[in-house]
Structure 1
């Protein structure tokens, strides 16, 4: 990346960018996790195979892109190597969790849906997801770390050449706060997740977790969709 006389120039052959589709997939995944949890806890009908297909598709996408971004160091070699950690590793972790859930729902989903209802579902979920919830908790703490780094180093600020987001280039803390705030919301839900599973009276915890993941999921999805325009514009403006 270099600042030429006529503005920022980027050699895009050395900086592949696909956190657009990763953001959309991650947002959709968070929304679907909340939706499935709501249906199970309220005793609504769940066709396990349909949820397995949805989780499997999103999980596959996040595993492939997240694994490539995580193992190719640095993927964004022209000034953004921290993207490997910020986007690649959380996407890989979430993709693996979604893929694992998809496999279970496809093979044994009936054992969970048969116990639909608040108490029965929480007991079944605690037995099934209890061990992996330790990893979810750890990734929640990692999200807090990413958010803190984003605020401290204003990592998410867009250059002036990027449409829409670039309008706020003189105020880098704004976009840094927005993205860091999303990671905080994801982190809150992930840190509370083990306690939702283990507590017999976790109604309010489940609501807070669901709200945090619903808000962050919707914003990640919408922001990723918006970036299809802004990132294309950035590429055109910096070639």
Structure 2
């Protein structure tokens, strides 16, 4: 979840005052991708008959990812705009979803650390669905938000990288390409979030595998894209100082 729409400055040669443009949605992308993959993996283990789960390990993983997303997402959400040179929509596009997902992960961490042993019984699927029921309303709401972000990305051609950014900048002439890629990832996350509360009613129904697939694809993409952008963002900083 990385790029800003800075192509309007490209013609004049993009120069950025990085003291007024804090950029750390690289780590947010990596953490979000890892979080989606771990949620899918834990769900698979819980649904697998007789599968053993070490909840302490999952709680520690969710704590690390949740802390990363809450701290960065909260700062981006409350600092308006975070980027002093503009792009206040980044606060909404990146900060708020990261904050929400981080809170979800920390809540799961707290429960698994304190009460995870209760999910080791034969009724763990039913018990998990019952525990996750109330928070699923918030998950559903954030699913709607993901669709709104995706629609904005397509409508306003957001996410396009400037020519000064390595690799991604090679596609600056086709801004809709990256806009479609990033918006598509938000759509995948949104589909899973919208189905989530309904899947809890029948955890072994058809909706659960769909959620697993769309979140796994989005998780892999966010993880790899975030890792790649450690290079592309460093290159962008070097090229625009």
Is this a same-fold pair by TM over 0.5? yes
1:86 to 2:102 alignment: no
Q: Deviation string for 1:90-147 (max 9, x for gaps)? A: 00000000001001100100101223xxxx3331122101000000000001000000
Native 8 Å contact 2:10 2:162 kept in 1: no
State the shift of 1:204 in Å: 1.4
The alignment of Structure 1 onto Structure 2 pairs a total of residues equal to 234
**Partner of residue 57 from structure 1, selected from 56, 64, 67:** 64
Q: Deviation string for 1:166-202 (max 9, x for gaps)? A: 00001000000000000000000011111110126x4
Between 1 and 2, higher relative CO (CA 8 Å, sep ≥ 6) is seen in 2
Structure 2: how far apart are the matches of 1:153 and 1:14? 24
**Partner of residue 36 from structure 2, selected from 13, 26, 30:** 30
Structure 1: how far apart are the matches of 2:153 and 2:105? 26
Native 8 Å contact 1:122 1:197 kept in 2: no
Q: Deviation string for 1:20-41 (max 9, x for gaps)? A: 0000000000000000000000
SS in 2 for 1:97: helix
Structure 2 segments unaligned to the other structure (5+ residues): 1-5
Structure 1 segments unaligned to the other structure (5+ residues): none
Structure 2: how far apart are the matches of 1:64 and 1:74? 16
Counterpart position of 1:162: 165
Counterpart position of 2:138: 135
1:171 to 2:174 alignment: yes
Alignment map for 1:1-239 (pairs within 5 Å) = 3=9, 7-43=13-49, 44-115=51-122, 120-199=123-202, 202-239=204-241
Structure 1: how far apart are the matches of 2:205 and 2:228? 34
Structure 1: how far apart are the matches of 2:147 and 2:129? 24
Q: Which moved more, 1:18-27 or 1:104-113?
A: 104-113
> How well do the aligned residues superpose, as a CA RMSD in angstroms?
1.5
Native 8 Å contact 1:70 1:85 kept in 2: yes
Structure 2: how far apart are the matches of 1:227 and 1:183? 18
List 4+ stretches of structure 1 deviating above 3 A: 1-6
Native 8 Å contact 2:118 2:124 kept in 1: no
State the shift of 1:70 in Å: 0.2
